Structure 1
Amino acid sequence: MYVDFSEHGTPSFSSIRKWLGRIGLYELNRKKEYRSDWIFIVDLTVELGTEKALVVLGVSQQLLEEQVFPLKRGLGHQDVELLALEIMYSTKGEYIEQKLSELTKKVGRPVQIIADHGSDIQRGIKLYQQQYPEVIYTYDVTHAMALLLKHELVADEKYQSFIQQCTQCRQQLQQTELSFLSPPSQRSQCRYFNIERLINWAIKLLDSPIDIIVELVPNIEPAILRQKLKSKLGWLINYQESLSIWSQMVQVTRTVETHLKTCGLNQKLSSVLELQQLTMRGNSLVNFQLKIIDYLTIESSKIQSEQTILATSDVIESLFGKYKQFSSRCPFKQIGQMILSISLSTMKLTGSVVKLALETVRYLDLEAWSDQVFGQSMLSKR
C-alpha cells in the first residue's frame, strides 16, 4: 500500500521502529530453504541483564564457491541468512546442542559450523557432533590469532609495561598542545584484536623527524618544545627493539587472517606462509610462527584434500556491531525488539519484500512475540 506522507505527515520514530520490527520478525520466521550444504555461523551476544542471544547465520557452500572465493572477498551481510535467533537465560552446552539439533530438522544438516572457542558454544557444538560426526567444526581465525597474540603478550613484561606507559602518556597529553600526539585509546575488551593501533602509533612517532612536530606547534619555542617532547615521549626509545618484534608478530597474524578470510581454508598451508614477506628471527618469533602453523594444521586436517571451507565468523561480529549501534539509543542496554535489526541487515529490501512483510506480520504479532520472548522490559519495571 502506497502512503503519501505529504498528506499524512512524517511518520514518528516509534512508527518506523515498529515497521522495522515487523519486517525483521517476518525475516526471522520466514521458512528457510532446506539444503545439504549449509554452513552455520554461531555466536552469542549479551547486553545488560541475564539474557543472551544465540544467533545462527547460514551461508551455502555453493555461494562460497561460486560468488565469494573466486572474487577473493569476505562475506557480506547479504550473503548470509538469519537461520535462528534464540533468547536464552542459560547457555549451557546442552541447550546450545538442543537449538542446533532443532535447526537441523528445519533447514538440513550443515557441512560445517564455524564459531569461536567460548566454553558454552564449544561444548554445545561438540555435543552436536556426537550425533553428526561428519560436520566440521572450525575455530574462527580472527579469534584464534587474537588469542595467540594475547598468550604471547600477556606473559611479556615489556609489553605490559608499554601499555601502562601508553595509558599514562595519554592522560598527560590529552589537555595539552601535544594532545594530537596522544596514544590511541585502548579498548577495555577485545584489545588483542586491535593492538596494532598502539604499536603503529609508537613506531610512526619514533620515525617522525622532530622538525615536523616543531612546525606543527609554532606557538612554543623550539627548545622548550623539544624538552617537552623528551619529557612526555622520550620513554618510547626504551621499547624500540621490542616494537619491531611485536609489529612482526601482528603482521604475520594479519597476513594469515587476510588470506584465509578471502580465499578460505584448505590443506595448501605453505602458500599461506609464503605470502608474508617476513624473515622471522629469534626464538620467540619462530615459536610464535610455529603456533600459527599448529592452528592451520589442526583446522585443515578436518577437511578433504580438495576442499576449501570458510575460516572466519567476522560477518556475525559485524552484524552484532550494527545491532549494538542501534540499541545504544535505548535507555537500558537490554536485549529487546532491536535484536531483530540483525535479520534486517541480512535482507535484500525491495519494495515487494517490504510490502509482503508488512502484510504478513501485524504490530500485534510483533508485540505478542516480544512479550513471549522478553516479558516485561527493564525500563517498564523501573
Structure 2
Amino acid sequence: MVLLMVVWQAYGQMSLRSVRHCFAQLQIVLALHCRVPSHSSIRNWLCKSGYYRIQREQKSVRNPAEQWALVIDESITIGSEKILLVLGLELSTWQFTKSLSVEDVRVLAVETSKGWSSEMISQRLTDVGRTHNIRYVISDGGINLKCALRLSSLVHVPDCSHVAANALARQYTKHEGYISLSKSAGALRRKWYLSKNVVYMPPVQRGKSRFQNIFPTIEWALTIVQEWERIPIEVRAELLFVKKNEALVEMFEQITVVNSLLKILKVKGFTAQAKEQITVLIDTLTTPRGQRIRQEIATYLATLSSIATDETLVCCSDIIESYFGKFKQRSIQTLTFIDRVCADNRQLCRSV
C-alpha cells in the first residue's frame, strides 16, 4: 500500500491530500481495515524513497568501459539556497533520435548550499567519477562550472542553447527595433490578459536569459504581420507597433537559421555531417549582424570538432532546465522545503 501511494503521487502527479483521500475510498471499495496515513506520512515515504534511489545510484558499481555524459548546473535559487544538480546519460544506450527527456537520464547528485565555489563543484564531480566513467560534461558558460571542470580535468562541452542565445543577445540587446518590440509586447500582454483579445496576445517573455526564448516572440510577430488582413480593425490599432517594426524581417531570418541549427544539435547531436549542415545554414546569414552571429556559431562548431573524434556529441543541457522547472513551480521559499525536495528524487527523475 505504501508503494501504491508513492506511485500515485510520483507518477500520477496527484497531490498528497488527494492520495490520502483516494486511499480512503479504496479502503471502502476493497473492505480494507487499516489506518489512512496523513499527507505528512506520505510525503515522508516519498522523501525516503527518493533518498534511497539517489544513494543507490551513487554507490552502484558501474562497468568501467561504460562512458557517461554529465549535465550539470547550479543556477536555480530557492530562498537563500542554491541547488547543484548533476544528471548522467549512459552514452552506449543513447541513439540520437530525439531530444533528451526525463526518462533518458539519471540523477547522480543533488545538493543544496548557500553558494557553490568551483572547488566544491569539483569535489562533487570527483565523487561521481568514482562510480561513473565520465567522458565529458555539458554545461552553460558559468565561470564556477568551467573552473570546476578544469580542476577535475574533465572535458567541457558548451551548451548549444546558451551559445546561440548569447550570440543573439550580443547583436540585439541594445538594438532599438528589438527593444521596442519587446517592451510593447510585454505591455500589450499585461493589458490583454484575460480579455477577449487573448487569442492575439504575445507569448510570455523571461525576465532572465530572455534570448533563450526569443523564438516564440518573433514567430508571434511574424504571424501577426502575415495574418494582418484577417485581424479585426480594433485589434490592429493595438498591434501597429509590430507592423511598423522594420527590423523584424532581418531578425526573423536570423532566428529561423539559429532555430534550425539548434534542432539539428538537440536531436542528432554534433557530428561531422551535422557540422556540414549547420555550415550551409549559417552561410545564408549575409547582413552585418548575421555575419557576426555566423562567426560565433562557426567558433562554437570548431570547439566541438576539437572534442569529438569519431563519436557523436551530446551538446544540449535543456533537460536540466526542465528539472529546475519542477522546482520553480513550487513557490514555498523555506529551507525545509529545499531539503525535502532534494530528498524526494522521484520529483526529479522517474528513471532512477
TM-score, normalised to structure 2, is 0.81
The residue number in structure 2 matching 1:311 is 315
Tell me which of 232, 247, 261 is aligned to 2:266: 261
Cα separation, partners in 2 of 1:75 and 1:170, compared to 1, 3 Å: closer
Pair 1:51–1:178, CA change in 2 (3 A): closer
Larger Rg: 1
Q: Is residue 93 of structure 2 the alignment partner of residue 63 of structure 1?
A: yes
The answer for the alignment partner of 2:326 in structure 1 is 322
Are 1:20 and 2:39 matched, yes or no? no
Taking the aligned partners of 1:331 and 1:290, their CA distance within structure 2 comes to: 42
The SS at the match of 2:314 is: coil
CA contact (8 A) 1:38 1:59 kept: yes
Is 2:209 the counterpart of 1:206? no
Q: Tell me: CA distance 1:310–1:331, structure 2 relative to 1, closer, same or farther (3 Å).
A: closer
- Residue 19 (structure 2) aligns with: none
Measure, in 2, the Cα distance between the counterparts of 1:76 and 1:33: 24
Alignment of 1:46 with 2:71, yes or no, is: no
What are the within-5 Å matches in structure 2 for residues 172-321 of structure 1?
Answer: 172-174=191-193, 177-210=196-229, 212-214=230-232, 226=233, 228-229=234-235, 231-239=237-245, 241-268=246-273, 269-274=275-280, 276=281, 279-304=284-309, 306-321=310-325
Structure 1 residue runs of 5 or longer lacking an equivalent are 130-134, 215-225, 350-382
Once residues 231 and 177 of structure 1 are traced to their aligned partners in structure 2, the CA distance between those partners, rounded to angstroms, is 15
Over the aligned positions, Cα root-mean-square deviation in angstroms equals 2.6
Distance 1:287 1:48, change over 3 A: closer
CA distance change for structure 1 residues 230 and 262 in 2, over 3 Å: closer, same or farther? closer
User: Does residue 153 in structure 1 map to residue 172 in structure 2?
Assistant: yes
1:27/1:344 contact within 8 Å kept? no
What SS does structure 2 have at the residue aligned with 1:311?
Answer: coil
How far apart are residue 185 of structure 1 and its match? 2.7
Aligned length: 320
Closer/same/farther in 2, CA of residues 43 and 176 from structure 1, 3 Å limit? closer
Give the conservation status (yes or no) of the 8 Å contact 2:105–2:351: no
Decide whether aligned partners of structure 1 residues 209 and 46 sit closer, same or farther in structure 2, where only a CA change above 3 A counts. Answer: closer
Q: Which amino acid aligns with 1:322?
A: K
Does the 8 A contact of 2:81 with 2:113 survive in 1? Answer: yes
Question: Structure 2 stretches of 5 or more lacking a match?
Answer: 5-22
Large movers: runs of 4+ above 6 Å: 1-4
Identity in percent: 26
SS for the counterpart of 2:247 is helix
Pairing 1:83-94 to 2, within 5 Å after superposition: 83-94=108-119
Aligned residue type for 2:314: L
Looking at structure 2, the residues matched to 170 and 344 of structure 1 have their Cα atoms a distance apart, in angstroms, of 32
Q: Deviations over 1:227-267 (max 9, x none)?
A: x445422222221x421211122222221211111111123
Partner AA of 1:287 in structure 2: R
Work out the CA distance in 2 between the residues paired with 1:294 and 1:317: 25
